[in-house]
Amino acid sequence: MTRRSVNDEGTGVNNTTQNGGHPGDIPAPKEEPDAPNGKVELRKKVTLLRGISIIIGTIIGAGIFISPKGILKNSGSVGMSLVVWIACGVLSLFGALSYAELGTSIQKSGGHYTYILEAFGPQMAFIRLWADLIAIRPAGLAVISLAFGQYILEPIFMPCGVPEIAIKLATSIGITSVMYLNSMSTSWTNRIQIFLTFSKLLAIAIIIVPGLYMLFKGETKNFENAFEVSNIKLTGLPLAFYSGMYAYAGWFYLNFVTEEVENPEKTVPLAICISMAIVTFCYVLTNVAYYTVMSAEELLASQAVAVTFAGKMMGNFSVAVPVFVALSCFGSMNGCLFAFSRMFYVASREGHLPEVLSMIHVRRHTPLAAVLVLYPMTVFQLFVGDIYSLLNFMSFLRWLFIGVAVLGLIYMRYTRPDMPRPFKVPLFIPAIFSFTCFFMVFLSLYSDPVNTGIGFAISLTGIPAYYVFIVFDRRPKWLQDGLDSFNRSVQIILEVIPAEH
């Protein structure tokens, strides 16, 4: 996986037989009217609105519509569950503000990977990348895609259950369409993300407005004794926070595409703050609406809270709710893939993945190979793997490495005090957030040592992989020639070339 420039072998942007190139080399791409100086590069097309849509569109997935009951179950009371929702929003804002500082001081795409690389070096960053590539990202994408497949088909099969094979086929179509969209156009990816974000905000408004109307009409019986002390479970509160933080996860996705953000010094902090305020507001009011219409017992008994809510409030219109949930899932799939591909693009540029992943399509200006690398693994896990078990193995790793990245912010304050920091947060904000992340990791080790241990073991396989693929570069000539030939073949088939800087 060490970097070996394909251009050194004669494949370049301007190779022709007239200027010394060779037959079979990739020809120079035609200049496009909107290409600055004809450069093949990732363009700065993420505006403030698009940045907000990436964050909101990936945070708000299926969870708020299906299962807010994890927080209620572990907090023990209606009032305490609302406190947890607000507290998790504030804690997530702390993490988001920390990432805003990291994103404006280190203006590279790649998110967690890039920040760990800058603070703690290549080995730690590679271990994070390895866990992402072999398990976390394909499994996460497969799970949200399965939710899309389930809910897009539900109105068709109502009142019967949806056959398993139909869900997997619909899921495969969903994954394929998201991959195609991200491969073809960054602009259209962002436009559709904006549309889907407004769709899910509309779906939330359809829940909030009638719920608050009922509340203002005096429907408050479910809020009586909301903070009943005898019901509050102090031992369950950490688990409630764990569920809440998971529901808010996604505030870091804009940092994966920093190099494509217009004016990142202003856009990144502003998009993060606006998005977190909107999401926290929506989450809390959605739960208030749920509790206005349903008792705590009804909510805990429901398999899909939004569907139960719509059935009680809207009658036949409730059939539209699964469609909104499916659109919400599609938005999360789209935003996640857009972000992940940039992490693989940057990791390839740093020499941690095959070089072809850092190449750009000659006409589309998308990191085509980096987008497609997840496709076979995601579909494979979809059909053969126990994805939910894999997610259990890996959920704690997310918070471990986010905590490490934020700890890196504190570390670099002392080791690199002269680093430009256009946006700077008070030190207590990253301190509180990184402590919260490490506490959740410790909680995972305590509450589920087997699954957590397996996930930890999977991530540790990144250590020998680092030495085999990165450090040890004395490969036999036949193997190196084979890798170079494969790299060149993929480059020609996908019509990708190295980005110009």
**CA distances in angstroms from 348 to 344, 373, 448, listed in the order given:** 6, 12, 34
- Sole residue written with tokens 């990253």: 430
In a domain, 15, yes or no: no
Domain containing residue 428: 42-498
In a domain, 30, yes or no: no
In a domain, 23, yes or no: no
| Residues of the chain scoring pLDDT < 50 | 2-37
pLDDT in tens, 113-125: 999 999 999 999 9
pLDDT recorded at residue 63: 75
In a domain, 434, yes or no: yes
In a domain, 5, yes or no: no
pLDDT in tens, 247-268: 888 889 889 988 888 888 889 9
The tokens for 302 are 């429901």
Predicted structure pTM score: 0.83
What whole-number distance in Å separates Cα of residue 339 and Cα of residue 341?
A: 6
In a domain, 34, yes or no: no
The tokens for 301 are 């008994």
CATH of the domain at 147: 1.20.1740.10
Look at residues 342, 143, 172 and name the one whose alpha carbon lies nearest to residue 257: 342
pLDDT recorded at residue 101: 93
End-to-end CA distance of the chain: 22
Look at residues 406, 339, 351 and name the one whose alpha carbon lies nearest to residue 136: 339
What whole-number distance in Å separates Cα of residue 368 and Cα of residue 352?
A: 18
Contacts of 84 (CB under 8 A, 6+ apart): 71, 75, 237, 240, 241, 244
In a domain, 13, yes or no: no
In a domain, 8, yes or no: no
pLDDT recorded at residue 7: 40
What is the total count of domains within the chain? 1
